[in-house]
């Protein structure tokens, strides 16, 4: 009933403010570059109003909404600010190629199109050129080079942002969430970058519009669309470890409809950082990615888009285990499947209202089959099946020229069925979000809003957020945002019933812990109880408050400085810890709320356009993390440690190193140079990560000893690329050329060399 009433309210608000549709202009304006060529991706925006797009010839074929201040912008070009009078007087407008990235259009931050310059939030946009410069073929390889982001090697290539793990970062593909996490980690290597147009990185809690899993931030991956009649790109990349990545990208359009087909294949022999042990760090695997994207107009003011994606991965390898009869060789066969379908219907009854109905269905599954190599008998078998469906309705209403109201509501269903769970489990949730974007003056813009969530397994939650920006001048602006985030307990934390047959440990969800321990006691497997499972109780949703504040300062036309300081305070952090010691010496684990965690730091980027063909940039991130519970215990003198001579002493605050797997210092230096005579683009990058805690070696469960740190490392990366006259793109290069290797970074294989090419067949045929 709650959800139905919200939908009725949104529809009534939408139609209450309806206005007649604008008529087409008689003399269309045209947007060109400095060479007189049309810019088909240009956008026209009246301050505070919904954007207007140009057609394939760079022409504007509809009247603009009312308003005096008009902004013309496009990816890769400097924006052009003009008055209504200038707009009416001229027919052609020229955009200059830009330096910097303030005019990149961002969707993830507000669920509406806004440029970086107009956002009072810490956001980074990586365009296609920036992606190509890395030479990466998987998403993890792109993000690892960005200031303040770290790639974790636990359960795949996970992302860390503002000191918070992958569990707290929402990954979106064309605005829709991707599912399928292992122990909370979303493996970024499941995402090919061959057809990515841009990547939006939004830092700080975004639960006010996205709900759970967006407590640390959002990464939105925007795939390519097509506006050309026919385009076919074929590519092939080869890299170390016998890795091959062929792909095909086909796009065509006719009338008001366009279709994009994409296929990517990835295979590799994997790599091994511990050759002395049986089994590889990354096993050989092959992966197929297929994607279909259709956009078009089904009727006047009605647009439809259909998006489908399939991912299939298979891997194999070997592992050695000990048994009563000696050491045994195990064969591993694993697979992952990911299917995603997303239809979207948009209705624009007039220039002030846009209504969007989104549907999303995703299926994710894994199968792990482990057998004895000697006789093929089963050693362990695990399967996992997850289904996620969401229906959402959103209305954007232009209240005035400088005010945009967004109202949305939705319902989601999530089910999990797996070997590790006793039965098919289901979550249901409904939500409502409201957002107000207001530009009270030419120097100020404010975004405020909240989201209300109602979940079947935890109490209702309201997540507010407010952010603002003040422009001291055209080149200097200050931003600040204050917001709440939350993360609901997942199936694993509530309902997991898992026994690792190889290692001999058990993991129980909080709701099954008491029953699970009693069963182990009846079987005589429990040596002692470490924490009474009856005291765990129901898990609460994790919640946070976060402050972000920063600046964007264009010191001169060639020099740009961007900085952001943040502080996240997380309550009821869900932790895992042993609750019983087994007679085998292993433990049984469960989950409970305990900690209050603080992460805080500064991230800053400085870019300098030294000459027309030389750009330099410098990034640095400082991170400080604290567990308030641990600090209280240290102050109370309750935590001890032993030194090399086995002498015991109390831990003091100066010993405490914060949370594990966090580097206090990290940064990058990047040099981009274009050699004019040959047309070769060079991108040289040095990526640095400082030391970080990797394990508790003295048994007091905290990071407090120098021996518990992994050493820092630096990776030197180089990419050389060239685009020929007929559009053929060539690239060669390498990452980690200094060949830094460490078992503490299992996603870093050492030196990787690569070469690749992309052939745009439409251009090639025309040239011929």
Domain residues of the chain, as ranges?
Answer: 29-94, 220-760
Cα dist. 550→110, 178, 468, 479, 598 in Å? 18, 30, 11, 5, 19
Query: What kind of architecture, by CATH, is found in domain 220-760?
Result: Beta Barrel (2.40)
Ranges 10-19, 85-94, 582-591, 639-648: which has the least confidence: 10-19
Residue 767: pLDDT band (50, 70, 90) is: very low
Domains 29-94 and 220-760 are alike in CATH topology: no
Of residues 506 and 476, more confidently modeled: 476
Per CATH, is 29-94 categorized as 2.60.40.1120? Answer: yes
Tokens 């087994």 correspond to what residue? 582
Low-confidence winner among 493-502, 646-655, 756-765 (lowest mean pLDDT): 493-502
pLDDT at 9 > cutoff 60: no
Cα–Cα dist 189/153, whole Å: 11
**Which range has the worst mean pLDDT, 243-247, 447-451, 454-458?**
454-458
Q: Which of 22-31, 117-126, 569-578, 718-727 has the highest mean pLDDT?
A: 718-727
pTM for the model: 0.84
Highest mean pLDDT among 271-275, 403-407, 456-460, 498-502: 403-407
- pLDDT value of position 356: 95
DSSP designation for 67: -
Confidence of residue 76 (pLDDT cuts 50, 70, 90): low
* Whether residue 614 has pLDDT greater than 90: yes
How far is it, in rounded angstroms, from Cα 265 to Cα 637? 56
Query: For residue 10, what pLDDT is reported?
Result: 46
**122, 566 contact by CB (below 8 A):** yes
736: Cβ contacts below 8 Å, ≥ 6 apart: 715, 716, 717, 748, 749, 750, 751, 752
Query: Could you tell me the pLDDT band of residue 117, with boundaries at 50, 70 and 90?
Result: confident
Lowest mean pLDDT among 132-141, 407-416, 737-746: 737-746
Mean pLDDT over all residues of the chain? 86
* Per-residue pLDDT tens digits for 556-568: 888 999 999 999 9
Check residues 647 and 462 and name the one with the higher pLDDT: 462
Dihedral pair phi/psi, residue 513, rounded to 5°: -65, -50
Q: What is the mean pLDDT of residues 696-709?
A: 86
Q: Identify the pLDDT of residue 16.
A: 35
Residue 208 has pLDDT above 70, yes or no: yes
Mean pLDDT of the region 347-376 = 91
Chain center to CA of 84: 39
Q: Is the pLDDT of residue 8 over 60?
A: no
Contacts of 663 (CB under 8 A, 6+ apart): 150, 623, 689, 690, 691, 692, 712
Alpha helices, DSSP H only, in 126-258?
A: 128-134, 139-143, 207-210
* pLDDT > 70: percent of the chain: 91
Q: What is the DSSP letter of 274?
A: -
pLDDT of residue 79: 75
Write out the DSSP string of 97-139. Answer: BPSSSTT-EESTTTSS-EEGGG--S-EEEEEHHHHHHHT-SBH
């Amino acid at each position: 009933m709650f959800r139905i009433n919200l939908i009725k309210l949104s529809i009534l608000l939408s139609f209450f403010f309806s206005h007649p549709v604008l008529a087409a202009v008689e003399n269309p304006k045209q947007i060109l570059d400095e060479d007189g060529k049309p810019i088909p991706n240009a956008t026209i925006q009246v301050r505070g109003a919904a954007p207007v797009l140009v057609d394939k010839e760079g022409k504007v074929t509809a009247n603009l909404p009312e308003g005096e201040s008009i902004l013309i912008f496009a990816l890769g070009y400097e924006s052009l600010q003009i008055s209504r009078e200038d707009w009416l007087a001229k027919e052609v407008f020229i955009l200059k190629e830009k330096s910097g990235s303030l005019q990149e259009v961002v969707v993830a931050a507000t669920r509406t199109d806004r440029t970086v310059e107009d956002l009072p939030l810490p956001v980074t946009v990586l365009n296609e050129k920036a992606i190509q410069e890395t030479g990466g073929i998987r998403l993890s390889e792109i993000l690892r080079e960005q200031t303040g982001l770290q790639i974790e090697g636990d359960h795949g290539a996970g992302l860390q942002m503002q000191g918070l793990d992958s569990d707290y970062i929402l990954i979106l593909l064309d605005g829709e969430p991707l599912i399928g996490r292992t122990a909370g980690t979303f493996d970024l290597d499941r995402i090919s970058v061959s057809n990515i147009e841009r990547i939006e990185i939004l830092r700080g809690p975004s639960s006010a519009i996205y709900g759970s899993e967006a407590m640390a931030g959002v990464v939105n991956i925007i795939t390519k669309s097509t506006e050309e009649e026919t385009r076919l790109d074929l590519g092939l990349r080869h890299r170390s470890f016998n890795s091959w990545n062929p792909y095909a990208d086909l796009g065509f359009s006719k009338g008001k409809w366009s279709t994009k087909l994409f296929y990517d294949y990835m295979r590799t022999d994997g790599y091994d950082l511990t050759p002395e042990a049986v089994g590889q760090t990354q096993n050989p695997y092959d992966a197929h990615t297929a994607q279909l994207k259709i956009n078009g107009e089904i009727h006047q003011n009605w647009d439809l888009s259909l998006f489908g994606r399939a991912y299939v991965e298979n891997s194999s390898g070997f592992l050695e285990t000990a048994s009563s009869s000696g050491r045994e060789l195990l064969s591993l066969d694993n697979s992952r499947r990911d299917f995603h379908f997303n239809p979207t219907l948009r209705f624009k009854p007039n220039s002030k209202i846009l209504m969007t109905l989104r549907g999303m269905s995703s299926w994710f599954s894994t199968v792990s089959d482990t057998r004895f190599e000697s006789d093929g008998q089963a050693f362990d078998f695990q399967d996992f099946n997850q289904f996620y469906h969401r229906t959402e309705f959103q209305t954007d209403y232009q209240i005035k020229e400088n005010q945009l109201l967004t109202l949305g509501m939705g319902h989601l269903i999530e089910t999990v069925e797996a070997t590790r769970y006793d039965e098919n489990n289901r979550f249901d949730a409904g939500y409502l979000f409201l957002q107000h974007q207001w530009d009270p003056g030419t120097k100020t813009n404010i975004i405020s809003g909240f989201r209300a969530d109602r979940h079947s397994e935890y109490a209702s939650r309201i997540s507010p957020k407010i952010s603002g920006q003040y422009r001291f001048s055209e080149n200097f602006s200050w931003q600040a945002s204050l917001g709440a985030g939350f993360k609901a307990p997942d199936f694993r934390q509530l309902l997991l019933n898992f026994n690792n047959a190889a290692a001999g440990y058990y993991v129980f969800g909080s709701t099954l812990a008491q029953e699970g321990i009693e069963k182990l006691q009846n079987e005589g497997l429990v040596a002692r109880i470490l924490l009474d499972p009856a005291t765990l109780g129901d898990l609460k949703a994790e919640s946070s408050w976060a402050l972000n504040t920063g600046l964007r300062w264009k010191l001169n036309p060639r020099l740009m400085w961007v900085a952001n300081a943040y502080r996240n305070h997380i309550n009821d952090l869900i932790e895992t810890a042993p609750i019983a010691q087994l007679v085998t010496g292993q433990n049984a684990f469960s989950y409970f709320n305990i900690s209050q965690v603080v992460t805080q730091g500064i991230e800053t980027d400085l870019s300098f356009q030294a000459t027309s063909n030389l750009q330099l940039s410098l990034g640095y991130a400082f991170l400080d993390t604290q567990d308030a519970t641990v600090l209280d215990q240290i102050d109370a003198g309750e935590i001890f440690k032993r030194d090399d001579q086995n002498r015991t002493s109390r831990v003091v605050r100066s010993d405490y190193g914060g949370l594990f797997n966090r580097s206090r210092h990290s940064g990058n230096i990047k040099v981009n140079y274009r050699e004019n005579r040959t047309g070769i683009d060079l991108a040289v990058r040095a990526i640095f990560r400082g030391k970080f805690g990797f394990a508790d070696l003295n048994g007091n469960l905290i990071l407090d000893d120098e021996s518990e740190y992994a050493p820092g490392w630096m990776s030197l990366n180089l990419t050389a690329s060239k685009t020929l006259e007929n559009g053929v793109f060539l690239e060669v290069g390498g990452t980690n050329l200094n060949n830094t290797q460490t078992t503490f970074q299992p996603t870093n294989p050492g030196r990787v060399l690569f070469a690749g090419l992309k052939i745009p067949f439409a251009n090639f045929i025309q040239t011929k």
